[in-house]
Amino acid sequence: MSAVTPASPGDCFQGLGVSSGIAVGPAHVREASGIEIPEYSIAKSKIATERNRLGRAVQLAQRQIRKLQNRANTLEGLAAEEIGYLLEAYAHMLKDSRLVRDAETRITDERVNAEAAVQHELARIASTFEAMDDTYIAARLEDIKEVGNRIIRNLTLKSIRPFSAAPKGSVIIADQLTPADIAQIDPNRIAGVATTLGGAEGHTAIMARALGLPAVLGAENLLSAVSGGDVVIVDGKAGQVVVLPDKSTLDRYRRRRDNLTRRNRQLNRLRRLPAESRDGTTFSLQANVELPIEMPMVEQAGSEGVGLLRSEFMFMNRETPPDEDEQLSILLKFVAGMNGRPVTFRSLDVGAEKRGQSTIGELNDSAASALGLRGIRLAHLNEDLLLTQFVTALRAANHGPIRILLPMVSTVSEVQKARQTLKFAVAELRRRKLKIPNPMPPLGVMIEVPGAALSADALAQVSDFFAIGSNDLTMYTLAADRANEHVAHLYNPLHPAVLRLIQFTTTAALRARIPVSICGEIAGDPRFTALLAGLGLREFSMTPANIPHVKKRILSMDAVAATTRATLIMDQTDSGRITTLLDDFNNFS
């Protein structure tokens, strides 16, 4: 059932269960701007100070836009032009706009703090624009909001920690949360999250799973129905959010939560067992990680290495990019945590729904869209940045085994160009008289673009290893946005087209005798384990919390039978039939 404003006791909102677990707690509602805005009165004597504070935030925004303009100028052709127009418009708004002038007036007249003054002005402008009901005007409103929110961010950045106002044990309710937002949540303080927007395989969902935060995304009408402080239950498996539950419902969910905790504790006992099937085939189970705070979970899960380190998270939630030394100190935390086991360092993969990175500037939607400047494409436009990442990886490789992985590759030449950059990185180390790692880190390629999968045999000639990114591979193959709840029903890794691409890639790698792993979300779902094993995959990298679940499946599985079942499945053309064949195999073997 889906409810409308406001919720009645016991209302249940259905969304996508993206990170399992049960959270019970008071709701902390975050408004749509995505920024927590403090509001307070100021003394008459403080008006000038507050207006100055606003002035400084506006100046900072102007400097940020100028910096973005400089970066945009280095882009090629249409991209530079597109971004150029937009940034020019922002710069203009910051120089002389009603938004800033009226916010100043509000500070004086209403004696409110600068953040609140800007926020109230934005709300006033929004209501005027919305009344006009015109798509062109609506787009302009988005631009004004972008500028206003930038000023508010500049005002709040230093003083306010995100979600710091949320009481311990609360559940964050929001319209939308970005991966950068989730990365700032302390799972020891926040019980869970629920939003009205978002798909199951976007990075917001992945981050929630990584932090072990129960999460439901895409629950329609939720935000307007919940008030701050309402008790809510988030069931991250069933995808349900219950608002104002009665006592018996609360008791039922609390019992389920306790049972889950007990089951997970039992599973953790598998930690020390090797991941070996009943008939003696050995698998390597590794971890996907984003932030160093995940390392205790990686260790606890008994991971054999880091199969995917999403380095873009080092660049999130900050005003300036981390320099080489800072990147190195973060990377070394992962290396130390793995204590001799390999760490697969993926170069920056921003774009699509992964925003919030200061380094490459905030590209507009068309430049950084899912089909636009993502991953290696963006890196090749910012060679200095890629060079710094490679130098960092080489320096770290002197402390433990490192593999370097390139995201969103679609052509052989992108890999060759990256190899060239890697050579420059070696030369840089030599110039600085730093130790060159021996052996050199292997350079691998993510196979996550259908064209890359179909030319996997050619890519295998220039790559030291493959990592199959089934999340993007599914999205691009089926043209279904992984972060969009409206097409979640079409996003199906069991579609025969996706499976054929995985099989083709695996076969090409095995033929070329290079290692191949899978690190998309299906690698961590025990339902898929037998099928992936049957296709020839032996290395799986996943959210650490899923490692015991996948290991349990492997321990009960017969690898030869899995191969036979995979052969049968690959003869099918219908994903419904594939699902049935797989579920039957899982239930009876």
Nearest residue to 322 (alpha-carbon basis) of 377, 393, 405, 385: 385
Element spanning 109, H or E = helix 98-110
As a whole number of angstroms, the distance between CA 207 and CA 212 comes to 9
Sequence-distant (6+) residues with CB within 8 A of 368 are 350, 351, 352, 355, 374, 378
Shortest reach from residue 97's CB to ligand PEP, in Å? 37
Looking at the Cβ atoms of 337 and 524, the one nearer to ligand PEP is: 524
Could you tell me the smallest distance in angstroms from the CB atom of residue 408 to ligand PEP? 8
Among residues 119, 392, 470, 506, the one that binds ligand PEP under rule CB under 6 A? 470
By DSSP bridging, strand 306-310 and strand 284-289 are parallel
Residue 198: which of Mg ion, ligand PEP, none does it interact with, CB under 5 to 8 A by kind? none
Binding partner of residue 539 among ligand PEP, Mg ion, none, CB under 5 to 8 Å per kind? none
Instruction: Write down the least CB distance from residue 448 to Mg ion, Å.
Output: 5
Q: Dmax of the chain from CA atoms? A: 80
Separation of alpha carbons 40 and 222, rounded Å: 28
470 binds, among ligand PEP, Mg ion, none (CB under 5 to 8 A by kind): ligand PEP
Candidates 80-88, 266-274, 420-428, 463-471; binding stretch for ligand PEP (CB under 6 A): 463-471
Should residue 310 be labelled a site residue for ligand PEP when binding is judged by CB under 6 A? yes
463 is a site residue for ligand PEP (CB under 6 A): no
Residue with tokens 């170069």: 347
Q: List the beta strands (DSSP E) in 400-464.
A: 402-406, 443-447
CB 305 within 8 Å of CB 341: yes
**Shortest approach of Mg ion to residue 407 CB, angstroms?**
6
Mark residues 442-471: x for contact with Mg ion by CB under 5 A, - for none. ------x--------------------x--
392, 471, 503, 543: which one binds ligand PEP (CB under 6 A): 471
Using alpha carbons, select from 217, 294, 221, 214 the residue that is nearest to residue 261. Answer: 214
- Taking CB within 5 to 8 Å according to partner kind, which of ligand PEP, Mg ion, none is near residue 520? ligand PEP
> Which of ligand PEP, Mg ion, none has residue 176 at its interface (CB below 5 to 8 Å by kind)?
none
Contact track, ligand PEP, 192-221, x by CB under 6 A: --------------x---------------
Taking the complex as a whole, how short is the minimal distance between the CB of residue 521 and ligand PEP, in angstroms? Answer: 7
12 in catalytic set: no
172 contacts: CB under 8 Å, gap ≥ 6? 28, 30, 163, 166, 185, 190, 192, 193, 194
* CA gap 535, 499 in Å, rounded: 9
Interaction residues for ligand PEP, span 116-175 (CB under 6 A): none
Examine residue 472 and tell whether it contacts Mg ion (CB under 5 A): yes
C-alpha 28/C-alpha 60 separation (Å) is 30
Number of residues engaging Mg ion in binding (CB under 5 A): 3
- 102 contact partners, CB below 8 Å, separation of at least 6: 121, 124
Distance (Å, rounded) from C-alpha 90 to C-alpha 106? Answer: 22
Nearest to 286 by CA among 265, 267, 308, 314: 308
Query: Does 472 interact with ligand PEP (rule: CB under 6 A)?
Result: yes
Pick from Mg ion, ligand PEP, none: which does 558 bind, CB < 5 to 8 A by kind?
Answer: none
Q: What is the C-alpha separation between 7 and 332, in angstroms, rounded?
A: 48
Among 12, 28, 495, 519, which one carries the catalytic annotation?
Answer: 519
28 is catalytic: no
448 is an interface residue for ligand PEP by CB under 6 A: yes
**Closer by beta carbon to Mg ion, 71 or else 203:** 203
Which residue, 192 or 469, is less far from Mg ion as judged by CB? 469
Of 218, 520, 524, 534, the residue at the interface with ligand PEP (CB under 6 A) is: 520
Q: CB of residue 561 vs ligand PEP: minimum separation in angstroms? A: 27
Whether 198 contacts 204, CB under 8 Å: yes
**Minimum CB–partner distance for residue 528 and Mg ion (Å):** 17
> Considering only 56-64, 336-344, 464-472, 560-568, which stretch makes contact with ligand PEP by CB under 6 A?
464-472
The nearest distance, CB 448 to ligand PEP, in angstroms, is 4
Nearest partner of 464 among 509, 423, 506, judged by Cα:
509
The answer to whether 495 contacts ligand PEP (rule: CB under 6 A) is: no
For tokens 């900050």, the residue is 318
What is the rounded end-to-end Cα distance, in angstroms, of the chain? Answer: 36
Nearest approach in angstroms of CB 67 to Mg ion is 28
* Degrees to nearest 5, angle at CA 298 with 294 and 299: 120
Task: Name the burial class of residue 296, with classes exposed (0-12), middle (13-18) and buried (19+) by CB atoms within 10 angstroms of its CB.
Answer: exposed
Pick between residue 455 and residue 474 the one whose CB is nearest to Mg ion. Answer: 474
Annotated catalytic residue, options 28, 203, 495, 549: 203
Query: What is the set of active-site residues?
Result: 203, 519
Interface positions with ligand PEP (CB under 6 A): 206, 308, 310, 349, 448, 469-472, 519-520
Interface positions with Mg ion (CB under 5 A): 448, 469, 472
